[in-house]
Every structure is written in C-alpha cells, then in structure tokens.
Amino acid sequence: SIKTGHNKMRDKRFVAEHRGGPLTKDKHKQLIIWACKCVENVLPLITNKIDERLTNAIKIAKEWTKDNVSVGDARNASFDAIAVANELTNPIEIAVARSVGHAVATAHMADHSLRAAEYALKSIKLAGKSVDIERKFQDKHLSLDITELVLSARNNQNIKVKVTDTEKTTNR
C-alpha cells in the first residue's frame, strides 16, 4: 500500500472563502494549476499507454480553473483517476495515478494539491530518480501568490516521501 507521511489535521488556510476560509478563488486556481504541473512532470513515468481517465482528469482540472466545469465534475474525475490507481499493479504508476487524482480533487478541497505533489515525489522515488531535483521543479513552478502557503504547509506537516518494502520490490 502507499503510505504518505502527512498530518491528518486540515490546514485552515486551504479552506475556500465560500466555505468560510481565507483561500481566494484565484489562489485556489493557482494551487490546481501547480498540482497539474507536478503531475504532468511525472506522467511520462507511466510506461504503457496512459489511461484516458488520467488525461481526462488533468483536462478537467484545467477547465475548472477557467470555470468551465463544476467541482462535481472534478470530484468525479478524481474518483476515476483513483479507480485507475486501484487497477494498476506497478507502484510507480499507482503513485502517478494517485497524484492525478489528488490534483483534480484540488477543485473540491485545495489541500489535495499538497498530496498531488507528494505522490509525484513518491513516483520519482520509486523510479529511482532524484526526489531533490523533483522537489526543486515543484518549488520553481509555485506562483508567487501561493509559494509561502505551500512551503509553510509542507513544513508544518513534515511531509516525508515513504516507500513500503512491498513497493520497493514490485515491478520497477
């Protein structure tokens, strides 16, 4: 199973204004755009044909930022991406699919953007590539308006990329 090292307590700074939180719609959109960039950078780790449910989820996430699809559409696309993850056997590809699922789920709950980045890092680690280089890529693609929010949330949650023994030995 994929285990992530994040705190279960929600960071209130990621609660949208329409739900009584401080997160503006613009910053919410920036978070989903960033999550998509994180995902798209690791999508090539899927060695077989990429399931269209994953590419569709990314498209829906981007359309949400343009107000062309609903949060419900994004949630459904997220469920589809997680279904793909549950059908896969390669731990690298599972992590990529989960990253996609969290990226599009950012429309529903903005802190899913952090999980999208985390699963992208996990896929990199499982592939034997540099987590540090990937983290730098992720940080470089943060827009100025969300940099402090994301970096401080990551530090507060002490996010660590964990790989189980089963994942280490399965289908690299």
| Mean pLDDT (whole number) for 110-137 | 97
Q: How far apart are CA 37 and CA 130, in angstroms?
A: 17
166 pLDDT above the threshold of 80: no
Please state the pTM of the whole predicted model: 0.88
pLDDT confidence of residue 94: 98
The whole-angstrom separation of Cα 154 and Cα 172 is 28
Residue 141 pLDDT level (bands cut at 50, 70, 90):
very high
- What Å distances lie between residue 92 and 1, 4, 102, 103, 157, CA to CA? 12, 14, 16, 17, 23
- 124 forms beta bridges with none
Report d(CA 48, CA 93) in Å as an integer.
9
Min mean pLDDT across 7-21, 46-60, 82-96, 99-113 is at 7-21
Name the β-bridge partners of 103. Answer: none
Task: Find out whether 146 and 28 touch, Cβ atoms under 8 Å.
Answer: no
AA letter at 71: V
Residue 103, pLDDT above cutoff 80: yes
- pLDDT tens, position by position, 23-37: 999 999 999 999 999
Token pair for 135: 């983290």
For the chain, what percent of residues have pLDDT higher than 90?
A: 82
Q: 172 pLDDT exceeds 70?
A: no
pLDDT at 128 over 60: yes
Dihedral angle computed from the Cα positions of residues 159, 165, 168 and 171, in that order, rounded to the nearest 10 degrees: -120
| Residue 146 clears pLDDT 80, i.e. is over it | yes
Lowest mean pLDDT segment, chosen from 47-56, 109-118, 152-161: 152-161
Find out whether 43 and 54 touch, Cβ atoms under 8 Å. yes
Nearest to 81 by CA among 47, 112, 127, 111: 112
Q: Say whether pLDDT at 111 is over 70.
A: yes
Please report how the helices 144-157 and 112-126 are oriented relative to each other, as an axis angle in degrees rounded to 10: 70
Query: Which among 15, 41, 35 has a CA at the least distance from the CA of 113?
Result: 35
Q: Where are the beta strands (DSSP E) in the chain?
A: none
pLDDT above 70 coverage of the chain, percent = 86
pLDDT grade for 157, boundaries at 50, 70 and 90: confident
